[in-house]
Amino acid sequence: MHAITIPEPGGPEALVWAEVPDPVPGEGEVLVEVVASAVNRADVLQRQGFYDPPPGTSPHPGLECAGRITALGPGVSGWSVGDEVCALLVGGGYAQRVAVPAGQLLPVPKGVDLATAAALPEVACTVWSNVFMIAHLRPGETLLVHGGASGIGTMAIQLAKAVGAKVAVTAGSPEKLARCAELGADVLIDYRTQDFVEELRAATDGAGADVILDIMGAKYLDRNIQALAVNGRLVVIGLQGGVKGELNLGALLAKRAAVMATTLRARPLQEKAAIVAAVREHVWPLVEGGTIRPVVDRTLPMPEAAEAHRVLESGAHVGKVLLLAP
């Protein structure tokens, strides 16, 4: 088969479409013929040499895919050859075939075409696990989403609105904020020209956000604490603004607030399977009912993954960028 390889870390040109050995499904795994994958920030970090895949896993980038099952490994039940699925991956999505633990498979939601389904697993699992399973966002509370026009952001807006929360977002242009509003965002903050702490306080009568989903890390740490409501929960899922910041514990204590940081890729199989099962139970009915929809900015042929990475790094997209396998 062919896959995107990374012979040496570097810029987008480091991604090379090359012939590689076919994966073989192991115990509890299935083999999926990939129709589409999606580009995530973690793929960019892997290409740059900053985010190696866990030992013993696929060296190829790609944290999600959609396709058809072509073979079942030992011990797999509940799935059949020919089933159309999408999947959360530890890697290997930028390829024509990938071996997937059965616990990380999801059926393609009714009403969603197979290729578009590749836009769902990573964002749905990330948002549901962090905003709901960890931070316990409740109806009537306020969620602040940094990067509201990203793949994660577009899913977070829709899911939070679906459960009856108020949603504030930051984004870098009026056009992106308009797209966030179309998805249901209530408070629109241009981080280039506005202070999100002040804007959020004004929009919540001084209360602040009950939950903040943050992709920036150190750069936003202090202001995120300022923006939290009493009993607020800050969940850090990205480090685009650096890894080391100063935390005012006094401010945290005064608000009886919590700071949590998580990753998804390196979690044990059992934890990932539990998250996937929760997404199937809680999110998939919303997708099939039309309340949640995948947001796809554009699709490109998988051999042109370098261009897809350029798009992602430029920040010119809204939602997901997909790669179609030849």
Residues 6+ apart with CB under 8 A from 271: none
Please answer whether residues 324 and 35 qualify as being in contact, where contact means their C-beta atoms are separated by less than 8 angstroms. yes
- Closest by Cα among 261, 311, 266, 316 to 38: 311
3-class state of residue 148 by DSSP? coil
**How many whole angstroms separate alpha carbon 77 and alpha carbon 64?**
21
Nearest to 143 by CA among 202, 209, 234: 209
DSSP 194: S
pLDDT tens string, the chain, 326 residues long: the values are 999 999 999 999 999 999 999 999 999 999 999 999 999 999 999 999 999 999 999 999 999 999 999 999 999 999 999 999 999 999 999 999 999 999 999 999 999 999 999 999 999 999 999 999 999 999 999 999 999 999 999 999 999 999 999 999 999 999 999 999 999 999 999 999 999 999 999 999 999 999 999 999 999 999 999 999 999 999 999 999 889 989 999 999 999 999 999 999 989 999 999 999 999 999 999 999 999 999 999 999 999 999 999 999 999 999 999 999 99
Instruction: Measure the CA–CA gap between 53 and 9, rounded to whole angstroms.
Output: 13
CA angle, 314 then 18 then 272, to 5°: 65
